[in-house]
Structure 1
């Protein structure tokens, strides 16, 4: 056996292993607004169940699916579709009771022998994933054959409860740091979106200047308040350099509006077709069997699908889902390889930052064609219209949002390093390269 820990079959450490319901047992027409939440793959992306949006069924319906009811402490696996997913329901979960879908099965641990968190971290490790997927069929819809009976035969490491607690505590500490980084980036992304909406959709700085003139007040000061969200007192307390920079930005916005085909827009700004602002370039086919080992991310319409050793696009760009997840948008800072289910954006005299947030307002995900294989027709996108601000305002927006995205990229890099440390910690313990006594020191260096 690998490492120094004893191994036991799952059936020796389980109180129960059971499958989800038959496909016909839960249908869309049985969904309700409240009741017992149904777990799906989107809730199993992290080690802990993600309490995001749920579909529900009635308590009576859930009672009739007794074997598919899960509770806090249960470990949930996916056996069809996105196989290899595994997560447990923590003690602080939003609901006490859930129902799993037909593509899932679960393990209820004997917690006097093994901790659910330890089981999850093991099955997320390379060794655990290899064992879990050894009985998988990748033809058509990926699936694990005889999932519940097969799971019972898998051998897992079973150190003492005390050792498990140390391992879980340290891996969880890294997970907490990773999630904190992710939340910070979500906040920063929301900030960038809010700036775009305020400047280029609601025209807040322009309207603030107009209102101030009408009321006999200082229009520059009004625009500064609109841009920064600060009061006059807070503006007075700003460092002079920041105050002057904000004033310079506020001065770039006009103080009148003009009519256009899209309604009233700031004077001097233009309405342009998307095709005048960007080019949607086609990605290139790259079979998974043709990919070489490397660190260049490969993008499909659903996001990163793997890596390759050479880039099709030698710089950062925006990726747009063309087929599959139509209209999806991804920002990539580094060289990458977009496959043929995607477009990538080539800006025409507008910053990449403006393109990214402007494209979020176009509703691209609703622009499926009626072809045999639904997809995004770029000529249809090109005909859409956007407000193009003046070049100085565009440059000011780019400078502000570029700094936000630079911070996001640094957080992403830190998160990747933390994830690599987390994902190698258990393998090092299993191989004997690292002892439980050293795990705290290893995690502390993160």
Structure 2
């Protein structure tokens, strides 16, 4: 058995340094039955149920937040063999087979889906080392060679049991685990920061284009924040929303300052309204209106001068869309984006340009299909996987790409499409599918050019920070993937690469 394990490891590019042992993963289990797949039949979601970890919850080697799907207590009891205590190792069987998650105490009491293997090691302290090995080049090569690809890439429990695990002396193993953990902690911080930035961007879109917070702020300010001063013709629907927005403003720690700033802005905007004569001159082209700079008013906060000044303070009724900010228009997706089909990539050689399918990044190829800012929309498969790309890329036939017809519209459309329920628009039977006809006919509310450009500038700042963090992650992972194999093989010794902190700082 040992000779077979050695042959498998070495034929996959692995090295066994002197003083190390090579064992099968099964030999590290608590007992032969200490590896199981999770819940096979989860049933419907229960709001107050048991969190169920699915493959989609596993990102970057961890579970970033509490799963949004929960099973009933009865289902959890039926699959209690995979109920977590917080000392397990989880291995994905589909999606990205072989990805590993070290269960934490926060996950105690949760359960796992059938596409995840739950392992209990005799020594839970070895989980970090096993994870390092399984994410190494030789292990990935072995796992890829064992995948069942009949329907989708699937890793079997039998193959997991037989995976070879090189075991160094305990002191060296602890040092290598410590180095790896510091890399992962720094990568995790960057991932969490990006998740926060993405949440902030989505919240901003909802505030501006769904809840119309700046419009309600301006409307309330025009009435000195006294609801009784609002026009009696204001419909009950808008009055109720205005009441909720006023309550939100009053809950701010600097509510008085914000309201005073918005009132000052409302007065400035009123003073800037053109006279009848000025309007006539502008229409004749004899006078060009000058946009006021409200930042010069010390009573107006910068956030209001830079944002709220671009929004109206009134609503108007649209037969198609209901009550909308005054001056905003109804549009169709076809007015804003040209939807294009992806193409086959199989004949392309490897290269530097990313290739995307409905599941995400597939590979890098020698050529690109489009260069520029684009929103990618799945045609088949995971219809909700909307992506924003800015650069040179290729999409396959399961992913539409789009060409903006309006300047600065890509980010706005990205967040608009992400908010839609594409599952409800599925036109496929066996495989979820989308068509250009459905996409082009989508109706939406389109803001003024000033608001659109302002949104693009703000979101661009978020995207730049996210890209910078992604670059840091890639650099850390590249360094880790270069360093750890050399340490594992004995090519480098721990003293040769300074202290743990110096390696990753």
The interval holding the TM-score normalised by the smaller chain is 0.7 to 0.9
* Aligned match of 2:171: 162
Size of the alignment, in residue pairs? 429
2:491 pairs with 1:433 = yes
1:341 Cα offset (Å):
0.6
- 8 Å contact 2:98–2:155 — kept in the other structure? no
Contact persistence 1:9–1:153 (CA under 8 A): no
116, 123, 129: which one aligns with 1:111: 123
Q: Corresponding residue for 2:362? A: 305
Give how far 1:418 is off. Answer: 1.8
Match of 1:94 among 107, 122, 132: 107
Cα deviation 1:362-417 (Å, max 9, x = unaligned):
33342101456541122222222222111122112211211121111111111222
Q: Deviations over 1:198-255 (max 9, x none)?
A: 22222222222222222389xxxx99x98xx86564798xx97995675154322222
CA deviations 1:403-440 (Å, max 9, x no partner) are: 12111111111122222223333222223333233274
- Compared CA separation, residues 210 and 270, structure 1 to 2 (3 A): same
Distance change >3 Å, CA 334–CA 87, structure 1 → 2: same
Cα gap change, 1:311 to 1:205, in 2 (>3 Å)? same
Higher relative contact order (CA closer than 8 Å, sequence separation 6+): 1
Q: Any unmatched runs of 5+ in structure 2? A: 1-14, 227-244, 262-294
1:354 aligned residue: 412
Check the 8 A contact 2:23/2:167 in 1, yes or no.
no
TM-score, normalised by the number of residues in structure 2? 0.74
Equivalent residue for 1:280? 339
- Report if the CA contact (8 A) 1:5-1:157 is conserved: no
Whole-Å Cα distance in 2 between the matches of residues 405 and 427 of structure 1? 33
Q: Does 1:185 align with 2:242?
A: no
Give the drift of 1:291: 4.2
In the TM superposition, what are the counterparts of 1:25-424 in structure 2 within 5 Å? 26-29=40-43, 38-48=52-62, 51-56=66-71, 58=73, 68=82, 71-79=85-93, 82-90=96-104, 92-95=105-108, 97=109, 99-111=111-123, 115-144=126-155, 147-148=157-158, 150-215=159-224, 231=255, 233=257, 243=301, 246-261=304-319, 262-287=321-346, 290-351=347-408, 352-370=410-428, 373-424=431-482
Distance 1:378 1:193 in 2: 25
Cα 1:440–1:312, aligned 2, differ >3 Å: closer, same or farther? farther
Classify 1:17/1:41 alpha carbon distance in 2 versus 1 (closer, same or farther; 3 Å).
farther
The alpha carbon displacement at 1:122 in A equals: 0.9
**In structure 2, what is the equivalent of residue 20 of structure 1?**
36
1:382 and 1:106 map into 2 onto residues whose CA distance is: 44
Determine if contact 2:427/2:434 at 8 Å carries over to the other structure.
Answer: yes
**CA RMSD in angstroms, aligned pairs only:** 3.5
Normalising by the residue count of structure 1, what TM-score does the alignment of the two structures yield? 0.83
Q: Which runs of 5+ in 1 are unaligned?
A: none
Partner secondary structure for residue 120 of structure 2: strand
